[in-house]
Chains A and B, each alone.
Chain A
Amino acid sequence: MKPFADLVGRLLYSPSHNAKLALLFDYFARTPDPDRGLGLAILTGNLDLKHFRLAALRKLAERRVDPVLFRLSYDFVGDLAETVALIWPDGSSNQPWPRLADVHRQLIDAPKTDLPDLIAGWLDTLDATGRWALLKLLTGNMRVGISGRLAKLALAKMGRVEASEVEEVWHGIKLPYEDLFGWLEGRVARPNVDDHPLFRPLMLANSLSEKGLRHLDLSEYAVEWKWDGVRVQLSARAGERRLYSRSGDDISHAFPEIIEAMSFDGVLDGELLLLQGRGVASFNELQHRLNRKRITPRALKEHPAHVWLYDLLFDGLEDLRGQSYEARRGRLEAFFDRVVPERMDLSPLIAVKGFPSLAILHESCRERGLEGLMLKRRKSVYVAGRPAGSWYKWKRDPLTLDTVLMYAQRGHGARSSLYSDFTLGAWCVGEEGRELVPVGKTNLGFTNKELRMLDKWVRDHTVQRFGPVREVKKILVIEAAFDSVCKSSRHKSGISMRFPRLHRIRWDKSAEEADELGALRSWLK
């Protein structure tokens, strides 16, 4: 418990990525198994412990501490778990600190009624830092800002391997990951994860503009649609099936119908969409599905999922990633003909003769509900990340709208001193005539110079403040670019821009000339 408590105590105040990395590295290097594996699982949100309610915690504390003193202390500290951690009498026990593994095991074993005494027993042995860490853990409030990605980087640093190698074994290893640490420390062989449906880090495309495209020799590239859904990886091995997001999160629970259809052994790369009747459902529906814990039969019937297959990474245990795109495509087609999976289709190859026909296809993307075009070099092998010169995406042209700046909010991190989050509005006819309604919020697309100018403008034109938010005079026109329009219950207007970003600041335009909500509605599908 001690190394873990010290670690979280320190992570809490370390904002920088590098500092967090160094602290995690140090923790993994100094902490024995199985504790460090449990620590890793806790920090990355992969360990569910029995939760202890704050109210129960308060009761526990009042068994030991005078209620008047508790109240005065709580008033001063302001956080219940922290107050208990600090106020709990020190040195009530001379037992050694429990190990994280002891805490974990005993929590699993203990019946609920024994929890208060068990926890009190631990609190007696710990110091203030240890008590704080334990209580935050038990009340489910351990927020120290560690992403899975960061943890994997620290592990990679420990083993002097690439992060993608850690990523590869990640979904095949089990708590408390002793084989993982053993491998990274060079004591044992790489964990054998052949029998697990693993996540294989994705290959991504570089963005290309029309100008850049003109320099490509198109004969070297295969062209595919860029579907407007979510990129997924379908991984099935020895009867186990998983669906992963592009970052390697397991999203199987959200798409049971796809899992059911994965009657094969291998790893596929594709794009998932929801259908509606004979067409494609809106992106909102997809977002909705991803956030659901339980998928209703009705959702499955009205908006079934469908996958367009891009690539085959593993056929059974055979790793195809070292083969060329062309060869893999051949294998994918053969695989598809052999398996004939339900709810899946091959993403078709599009025949293109020269740039003009490519440009015409590109023009048609919005109408077809596609995000753009993909160009994949026929000779390229499958590599994790965004290798240069292999895959390109040519996204459809964004939509633009002249909006009016309504509110500004201070940013986070490096931007925390600047007003850098902006709420944009469009005109509509309300009860009292023409009024502005918010249609989107963005902090993207600004250069540092523009941000500084806007920051000053916001400070000079504030009409009201609400905490970190300032309402400004509604006179500045911002031309926003965005990918599409979606329905939004969070916006009074009922619709909003998807992925809005700054295109231009229109110092030259007056707010009266900004666009109407109607323009936005016309793009809604």
Chain B
Amino acid sequence: MMAAPRPENWVQLRAKGLYVLPGDFYVDPTSAVDAAIVTHGHGDHARPGHRRVAATLETLEIMSARLGAAKNQRRHHLGFGERIQIADVSVWLAPAGHILGSAQVVLEHKGSRVVVSGDYKRQPDPTCPPFEPVSCDVFVTESTFGLPVFRHPDSSGEVAKLLHSVSLFPERCHLVGVYALGKAQRMIALIREAGYDKPIYVHATILKLCKLYGRFGIDLGSLLPITSGLKEQTRAAFQGQILLAPPSTIADHWSKCLPDPIVVMASGWMQTKKRVKQRGVELPLVISDHADWDQLYKTFEDVGAPEIWVTHGREEAIVHQASNLGYRARALQLVGCGQEN
């Protein structure tokens, strides 16, 4: 029997991202290529302009919604576990638990298996199926929160803080900064799980994506566009209400019309006081869609890969720790990958 090929001989880092040599395609390329497999719809993974794209149906829908319908693009949707053959490479997707439609890409070639996990988390999330460990020879991991100071607490406790604050300040409104795709919908679902059933006001970009989630069967309860409240021209309309908006819009003109808003931010970065203060946040909630330090190691153990490739964030601490634990670990310097949460 022939020995399996060394992973680095058939999966390589190139200028445009992770390239699968025997299949002539990329995973999450950072700019337009001929053939791409996309793990999920966030901007630093799903780029426009590829000639052929394979992803989950949810991810393809999200890409259409955010990037527009691309002409001359061939799209192939894959269900979880559904196998396709691209030249000498067998490809299938497994849930990553990050956002709706997020997937790990499992690549098999001549008895060697590499899993590119994209972004993932291990905490429960009502808006997507949980991460599924797939045993492999190389596990490519993100490291957004790759420092031991990042440990995400139970999200229900964080949401309870928000709801307690809402009851404590009935004359003010709570303006929650969340990324429009994924975090916003998870946040709403968590608030609903906690028993809050009043309408939630959301920014237009969030509303559009919530409707998309709705088409995939995720019920987020009653949502109203923030603009509808603004039209009433009365600050009282927002008193005691919860509003969700992308962080970049919180300082915009419209927020000046709100009744004494308490600025809330739901993000893994809210773990450190410096960040909270820098962003002028009054109520920080540590809720993240990425794996925290402990989850990263639990995952390495679960997939049982002898080798770990680290991308996307703070490689140094994670490579150090993984090496201590007996893994062959190395940083994969991915270019063009921004900081998204």
Contact = CB atoms under 8 A, between A and B. Distances in A.
A76 B148 CA distance: 11
A13 B280 CA distance: 8
Contacts of B271: 86, 128
B283 interface: yes
Contact of A73 (B149, B153, B276, B282): B149
Contact of A83 (B149, B169, B284, B314): B149
Given A72-B317, A83-B149, A90-B151, A12 B168 contact: no
B282 A19 contact: yes
A196 to B, nearest CB: 35
Given A66-B321, A68-B320, A72-B147, A128 B283 contact: no
Contacts of A10: 283
B317 A69 contact: yes
B274 interface: yes
Nearest to A9: B284
Interface string B238-275: 00000000000000000000000010000000011110
Contacts of A68: 317, 320
Contacts of A19: 169, 262, 282
A14 B294 CA distance: 31
A360 B282 CA distance: 56
Contact of B281 (A13, A90, A127): A13
A14 B262 CA distance: 9
A468 to B, nearest CB: 16
Interface residues of A, number: 27
Interface string A74-99: 00111100110011001000000000
B316 interface: yes
Interface string A40-71: 00000000000000000000000001101100
Interface in B308-341: 314, 316-317, 320-321, 324
Interface in A99-146: 127-128
A69 B148 contact: yes
Interface string A195-230: 000000000000000000000000000000000000
Nearest to B281: A13
Interface in B135-158: 147-151, 153
Interface in A407-425: none
A361 interface: no
16 contacts: A13-B277, A26-B168, A66-B321, A68-B320, A72-B316, A73-B147, A73-B148, A73-B317, A76-B149, A76-B314, A77-B149, A77-B274, A79-B274, A82-B272, A86-B271, A128-B153
Given A10-B283, A22-B169, A66-B324, 9 more contacts: A68-B320, A72-B317, A78-B274, A86-B150, A86-B271, A87-B149, A90-B151, A90-B294, A128-B271
Interface of A: 6, 10, 12-15, 19, 22-23, 26, 65-66, 68-69, 72-73, 76-79, 82-83, 86-87, 90, 127-128
